[in-house]
């Protein structure tokens, strides 16, 4: 029998295989409405995590905001689509809107992993949300199936916030190592809704096409 040499994989081939593995970020929220602060967070995440793309995922009903009544899902989806249409790094997913009901992060992440089996999936989370992380639905599964990345602003002390998390020491260290820093901009969706209701300008707070959409559809009055 003729001896068959084992296949040798070169460093270049390994490098090419690594490049094929897409890096996808997930950025969830109500986006009611999407504003400049959201877009800056997304840009910071793409750049610092070297993502191939970032998915904006508007929630149907957030388990943490069930007392709030957001704008209709298709309106928030359309505003996000307008806000991101000129940036090839960003996509908008209706995965939670289509599913309906309360939006649990683990179900969304599992669907993204299923749809992109060769991708490395990152879930972006606000630093302040980490304190309640132990209460999230199937949190152990979530920690196992994606890379959880906290984002912190300049005035926050990440170590003290993460120390208050009810997670193991090992997980606290991982979260602290993964932390990314984002631009500190004092804009909130609730402030924008209030300004619209009071007849004030939102010209510099949202993209121009989103401002037109809000006016054309008489939202938040």
18 Cβ contact partners less than 8 Å away, ≥ 6 residues apart:
none
Global confidence as pTM: 0.86
Domain membership of residue 15 (yes or no) is no
Domain membership of residue 118 (yes or no) is yes
Domain membership of residue 7 (yes or no) is no
Bigger pLDDT: 197 vs 6 = 197
What are the tens digits of pLDDT across the range 68-96?
A: 566 899 999 999 999 999 999 999 999 99
Per-residue model confidence (pLDDT) at position 184: 80
Range of the domain at 135: 21-185
Domain membership of residue 200 (yes or no) is no
Q: Rounded distance, CA 169 to CA 166, Å?
A: 9
* Cα–Cα nearest to 59, from 88, 39, 34, 87: 34
- Least-confidence region, from 137-141, 152-156, 162-166, 187-191: 152-156
Residue 99 maps to which CATH number?
Answer: 3.40.50.620
**Mean of pLDDT values over 143-172:** 90
* Residue 67 confidence class, pLDDT cut points 50, 70, 90: low
What are the tens digits of pLDDT across the range 90-140?
A: 999 999 999 988 889 999 999 999 999 999 999 999 998 999 999 999 999
Domain membership of residue 207 (yes or no) is no
CA angle 194, 186, 81 (to 5 degrees): 70
- Structural domains counted in the chain: 1
Domain membership of residue 210 (yes or no) is no
Domain membership of residue 159 (yes or no) is yes
Residue 124's Cβ-side half-sphere holds a number of Cα atoms within 13 Å equal to: 27
**Mean of pLDDT values over 26-37:** 96
């Amino acid at each position: 029998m003729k001896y068959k040499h084992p296949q040798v994989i070169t460093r270049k081939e390994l490098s090419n295989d690594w490049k094929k593995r897409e890096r996808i970020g997930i950025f969830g929220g109500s986006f009611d409405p999407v504003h400049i602060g959201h877009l800056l967070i997304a840009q910071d995440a793409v750049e610092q995590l070297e993502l191939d793309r970032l998915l904006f995922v508007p929630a149907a009903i957030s388990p943490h905001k069930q007392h709030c009544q957001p704008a209709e899902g298709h309106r928030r989806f359309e505003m996000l689509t307008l806000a991101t249409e000129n940036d090839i790094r960003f996509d908008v997913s209706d995965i939670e809107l289509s599913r309906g009901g309360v939006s649990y992060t683990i179900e969304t992440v599992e669907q993204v992993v299923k749809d992109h089996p060769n991708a490395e999936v990152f879930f972006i989370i606000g630093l302040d949300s980490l304190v309640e992380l132990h209460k999230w639905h199937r949190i152990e599964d979530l920690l196992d199936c994606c890379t959880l990345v906290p984002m912190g602003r300049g005035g926050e002390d990440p170590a003290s916030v993460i120390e208050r998390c009810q997670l193991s020491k090992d997980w606290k260290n991982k979260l602290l190592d993964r932390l990314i820093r984002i631009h500190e901009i004092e804009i909130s969706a609730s402030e924008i809704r209030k300004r619209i209701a009071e007849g004030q300008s939102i010209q510099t707070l949202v993209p121009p096409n989103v401002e037109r959409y809000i006016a054309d559809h008489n939202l938040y009055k």
